[in-house]
Amino acid sequence: MAYIPVDIDEAVKKECKRRRYSSQTIKTYLYCINRFLKWSRKDIGHISKKDVRIFLEKLSDKGLSGNTMNTYHMAIKFLFEDVLEKRMWIDITYSKVPQKLPVVLSKEELKRLFESISNEKHKLMIELLYSTGLRVSELINLKVCDLEIDKGYGFVRAGKGNKDRLFILSPKLKDKINDLIKRDLLDNDSYLFSSNRNVKYNIRTIQQIIKKARRKAKIEKRISPHTLRHSFATHLIENGYSVNEVQNLLGHKSPETTMIYLHTASKNMINIKSPFDNI
C-alpha cells in the first residue's frame, strides 16, 4: 500500500473530483465505503481480500439487487485500487438484469401516443425522447448549440457520469426542430425547449404531457418518460443493431445494463437509423 491518508472521506472525495465523478456518485461511494469500514472493525491497513469477499457475501445473503451489489463492489475497489493504490480486485460479477423487465411500447402504441398530442412543441419533445433515447433530464437541458441538425446528430453535455456523448437525430424531425428554433427566435445558447415565460421545462411537465397523452391514446400500460428510452433501445435491438452500438447511444457504462433489452425485444429480430423513421 503506497500510503494511508489521515482522512479517508476527504481522500475519496478528492480522487472522485479529480476523475470528474458526479456529486451523486461521490455520495454513493462514501456511503458504501463507510458501511464496509464500519462492518470490518479493522485498521484499514489490515483489511484483506477475504474481508471484502465476506462483506459482499453477507450483503448478497440479504437479497440486495445485482445493481446494488455491483455498486458496493465498485466503491470498495475504488477505495483500495485508486485511492490507496493497493490491488484488491475480486472477480465477482452480479447480474444487473432485474427480475421485472421494463415496460416497452409497441410501434402502434407509439403512433397513437404521438397523435394524441395536439401541442406541436409538446409533441416534438415526446417524439425526441423516443427517437433519440435521451433521458428526460438530458432533453430539458438540450441547447441549440448542442445540435448538428444538418449532420443528423447532437451531443449530450455532462450527462450521467458527467460524460458527453453523441445521439442521433431522425431525419423526420429535422424540419420540426429548425421550425421551432426560427419560430421561438432561439439563439445558440438558448434551451431548445422553454415555456412561454422563457423558462426551460421541468421533468414534472414532461411527465404530465405523457400521462395525458397515454389516457387520450387509450394505452393501458403504465408509462413514464423513461418508457420511451426503453422502447427506443428495444426497437434498435429488434432492428438488428448490436448491444455495443445501443450501449454507446444510451450512454451505459456497462454492456450488461444494455443487455436487458435483449429480453424485451421481439423474438423475431430482423437484420443506425432511429427507429422513429419506421413509424
Active site residues: 135, 160, 226, 229, 252, 261
Q: Strand (E) positions, the chain?
A: 147-148, 153-156, 165-168
* Burial of 37 per CB tally in 10 Å (0-12, 13-18, 19+): middle
**How far does Cα 165 stand from its chain's mean position?**
11
* Cα–Cα nearest to 232, from 271, 264, 193, 209: 264
**Three cell numbers at 160?**
450521467
DSSP bridge pairs for 90:
none
Q: What is the DSSP letter of 81?
A: I
Element housing 74 (H / E): helix 66-77
Directed axis angle between helix 23-40 and helix 49-61, to 10°? 100
Q: Which residue from 133, 152, 160, 99 is spatially nearest to 233, judged by alpha carbons?
A: 133
Look up residue 224 and give its DSSP letter.
Answer: -
What the block records as the C-alpha cell of 71 is: 455498486
